[in-house]
Amino acid sequence: MNIKRLKRLLVVIAVFVCVIVTSAFSVSAEEKKFYLGGNVLGFTIDTQGVTVVGINEVITEGGLVSPCKKAGIIVGDVILSFNEKVINTPLDVTECLESYNGGEMVTKLLRDGEVKLVDLTPAKDLTGEYKLGIYLQDLLNGLGTVTYYNEDGSFASLGHPISDERGRVYDVVGGDIYTSSVIGVNKAEKGRAGELKGMFIGEKPIGIVEKNSRVGLYGKMNKFKTDGKIEVELSKGVPGKAQIYSTVDGLTPKFYSIEIVKADYISGSYKNFVIKITDKTLLEKTGGILQGMSGSPIVQNGKLIGAVTHVFLNDSTRGYGIAIQNMI
């Protein structure tokens, strides 16, 4: 569903939770300050190419035909171009078919990191329209929590990438950001991750998506206001009491108590922290860490030291966090 064309509020469920592995890297020891995030934003993501999620047959006067299967296209392929026309959305595919004049279309694909060229010939269905017999992934959209802002309105969020079910990081070519309100939760249960339920507010975006990396989703706000700064802790967080700053209702983030069970900077993975939710109010409302809370700042001794990234499926009160050094 294309968010840009909606004429009303859109209710969405947070979907941006993925497994990642990322190496820790050093940052300048110079003390820096950032604006604390904690608020939930709605994201619509434009990726390079369109992903094939299903293949079917076209009903023609001569019978059933499968143009994509004949061309050797398979589920999981990413279509990059037709006859050198760049394809980034399903609408691009529709426009190519509407202007199709016959013959083979040289199709550039990305499969398992390798670029391939195949010849694809559309088939005319019983209505006289040309079809490929293909199902394509629509615009990615979901909720995510901002970790920190810079003074120019640029921000970091999520603490992990937007990736597919195989763990491949999407190559983002753009996207929009919307004000969002949390209108409810699906509580976490043992063996099942819970979710924030949110609503995109307004038709106009308030910023843009600029980069999808292995340590977070980055972008910039059109207008940016905040009520103060919190110092970024460039030294290591330690086991003990801490807080997360997260939005689980409405528009306003709140502090909730947690315990840092483990701090590990040696493994070089995203598992820099193991955290446990101890706040009774949060546990009563959510059952623990939910999808959509990824990116929630972790604060210890008044300083930002990291962000929530994952939840343990067998214990939703526990999860992982990434060190702020990795996100910067």
For the annotated catalytic residues, the residue numbers are 160, 279, 294
Give SS3 for 15. coil
What's 90's DSSP letter? Answer: H
Cβ atoms < 10 Å from Cβ of 138 = 14
Query: Residues 283, 317: contact at Cβ < 8 Å?
Result: yes
Residue 210 CB contacts under 8 Å (≥ 6 apart), including other chains: 154, 218, 219, 220
Residue 98 CB contacts under 8 Å (≥ 6 apart), including other chains: none
CA proximity to 38, closest of 212, 140, 156, 168: 156
Per the rule left: phi > 0, alpha: psi between -120 and 50, beta: everything else, 174 is: left
185: tokens are 């939760």
CA gap 180, 251 in Å, rounded:
7
> 311 forms bridges with which residues in the sheet?
319
CA gap 159, 272 in Å, rounded:
11
Query: Residues 131, 122: contact at Cβ < 8 Å?
Result: yes
CA gap 243, 252 in Å, rounded:
16
Sole residue written with tokens 């390079």: 48
Residue 72 CB contacts under 8 Å (≥ 6 apart), including other chains: 118
Per the rule left: phi > 0, alpha: psi between -120 and 50, beta: everything else, 167 is: left
Query: Residues 10, 3: contact at Cβ < 8 Å?
Result: yes
Give SS3 for 288. coil
